[in-house]
Amino acid sequence: MQKLRKVQNCADLLKSFLPQSFAPKIGFVLGTGLGNFAARLEDCRTLPYTLLPDMPASTAPSHQGSFAAGMLCGVPVLMQQGRCHLYEGRTPGEVCTGVRVMAALGVKALVITNAAGAINPLFKAGSLMAITDHINMTGKSPLTGPNEAAWGPRFPDMSRPYDPVFLEISAKHALAQGMSLEKGVYVCVPGPQLETRAETRAYRLLGGDAVGMSTALEVIAARHMGLRVLGISCLTNTNLPDCMAETAIEEIIAAAEKLGASLEKLLIAAVPDIAGAC
């Protein structure tokens, strides 16, 4: 269920911590192993989630659990350094609190990142994937319960959850940098267990290209509030059912951190164009 009061409480407290004239235009959600991107901000201020009573804490490994605010390429931005997940015992509404807080503070665009396993056999571990669509396999929605009309409509359209213009911008800058940027469908599962071989085959048959444990619910909430979205997955490993190798979260985090430099380079190049398109 959505909690308008709790979101507004978080937004008010976070706003009081920021410079009076600060008006963020883009919000970022930094996934597993990617929180260090906030170090790129100029005039950066950080506020731990623990200082916001109504902001759910993040207990996942490598998720710092802070908001960071500052300037990136001359654009005022807000960043979530880490998120919470359904598998941490959180509700769909809690999972989306950070996105709704950033929207309440005025961001117009959301850049959402994650670490994911590639299930398309043509995709290689160690590459980036721009998300063109998603399949929500959690059986959950952050819109369950009474609708908050102040946020958006009862039945928001999801025909284009990931903004086509933003996808073109990211592809343009990846090409200019000689960077491989796949395009594909992200499958969101509840976790925390990794996928079986049979599940991997099923998700691939459904049209999935990568699988992870976040993002879809946050994107639903973002689109409900009218935010335009760019999603990028760091493909940390490959899930090929006929030759599936065991993996561990430590390996996934290490691979995401290694990919972080490429992701940062791409997003830094794209941010001015994304801001200009809003």
Distance separating alpha carbons of residues 127 and 117, to the nearest angstrom: 11
The whole-number pLDDT of residue 62 equals 66
What's the domain range around 94?
A: 4-277
The whole-number pLDDT of residue 43 equals 92
Q: What residue has token string 């369950």?
A: 144
Tokens representing residue 67 in the block: 């908001």
Give the total residue count for the chain: 278
The whole-number pLDDT of residue 33 equals 67
Distance separating alpha carbons of residues 20 and 22, to the nearest angstrom: 6
Tokens representing residue 145 in the block: 């319960």
The whole-number pLDDT of residue 253 equals 77
The whole-number pLDDT of residue 55 equals 92
The whole-number pLDDT of residue 136 equals 98
For the chain, how many structural domains are there in total?
Answer: 1
Q: Which residues of the chain have pLDDT under 70?
A: 1-2, 33, 35, 61-63, 243
- 182 within 8 A of 160, measured Cβ to Cβ: no
* Burial class of residue 95 (count of CB atoms within 10 Å of its CB; 0-12, 13-18, 19+): buried
Distance separating alpha carbons of residues 234 and 114, to the nearest angstrom: 6
Per residue in 257-269, pLDDT (tens digit) is: 888 889 999 999 9
Per residue in 151-182, pLDDT (tens digit) is: 999 999 999 999 999 999 999 999 999 999 99
Q: What are phi and psi of 105, to 5 degrees?
A: -90, 5
The whole-number pLDDT of residue 42 equals 93
CATH number at residue 20: 3.40.50.1580
* Burial class of residue 143 (count of CB atoms within 10 Å of its CB; 0-12, 13-18, 19+): buried
Beta bridge partners, 110, equal 27, 229
**Helix 97-104 crosses helix 4-17 at what angle (to 10 degrees)?**
60
- 227 within 8 A of 78, measured Cβ to Cβ: no
Collapsing DSSP to helix, strand or coil, 188 comes out as strand
The whole-number pLDDT of residue 257 equals 80
